[in-house]
Amino acid sequence: MWALGDYPTIAADLIPELGEILVEAAGVGPGQRVLDVAAGAGNVAIPAARAGADVVASDLTPELLTAGRAAAAQQGVDITWDEADAENLPYADDTFDAVLSCVGVMFAPHHQASADELIRVCRPGGTIGLINWTPEGFIGQMFATMKPYAPPPPPGAQPPPLWGHEDHVRVLFGDRVDEVTVRRQSLVVDAFDDPDQFREYFKAGYGPTVAIYRGISSDTDQVTALDHDLSELARRFDQGTERMQMAWEYLLFTARKVVR
């Protein structure tokens, strides 16, 4: 799904600052060994490397890793890029000083399995740092809007925006973390002139949206209805005047792996 469209361009156009925010919140610095899980094209990995960390970026989608390698080379940073499943990471226990993910791990279908892996590969006393879209925020509501048009999820799969719910994340990690900090923050997005431009941009470039439109492509009524619903969603969140301006809410979560 994430190889559809052009996620690296979307991430670069709309959410580049989120990686910097997470790297700063996690206290990443020189000499640390950092893992970026579900890294995409390196939205977190690249600023972590610029901060002086020794960075490994892992993702399940080879096409995103290829884009990430190119972006890292262009910016002159050295990162190790690994094809890896967030639910079954190929790293030893207690390997990394910080394990981070920015709107990435939330899309792995089995939340507890992913959380267990994040904890497992982080050293005792190390940092877990996450940014996830909230269910109530714009991207969470976009997934709710698209859900009636999508095929049923696989058995046991959980909705990605649950990772943006504080109680859900606290349950996933339980007593294996302490020094927990949780904040709801918003990213201001003003890249679109109007709701229809937003819809067409995501329709062409955002993997989950591309996949849903492909699934209903033979039903013109469904396509028309989804077109309308996505434009109306953007219109509902628009706070701008001459140009669209939306606030996309996310949950910033940091914690320390307990030393036992």
Phi, psi for residue 17 in degrees, rounded to 5:
-75, -15
Give the torsion through C-alpha atoms of 124, 107, 156, 227, to 10 deg. Answer: 160
The DSSP-derived string for 124-155 is: EEEEEEEEEE-SSSHHHHHHHHHGGGSPPPPT
Domains of the chain: residue spans and CATH: 7-135+153-188+248-257 (3.40.50.150)
- Cα separation values, 152 from 52, 67, 146, 148, 250, Å: 43, 30, 12, 9, 25
Q: Each residue's pLDDT tens digit in the chain (260 positions)?
A: 889 999 999 999 999 999 999 999 999 999 999 999 999 999 999 999 999 999 999 999 999 999 999 999 999 999 999 999 999 999 999 999 999 999 999 999 999 999 999 999 999 999 999 999 999 999 999 999 999 999 998 899 999 999 999 999 999 999 999 999 999 999 999 999 999 999 999 999 999 999 999 999 999 999 999 999 999 999 999 998 878 999 999 999 999 999 98
Q: For strands 79-83 and 96-102, give the pairing.
A: unpaired
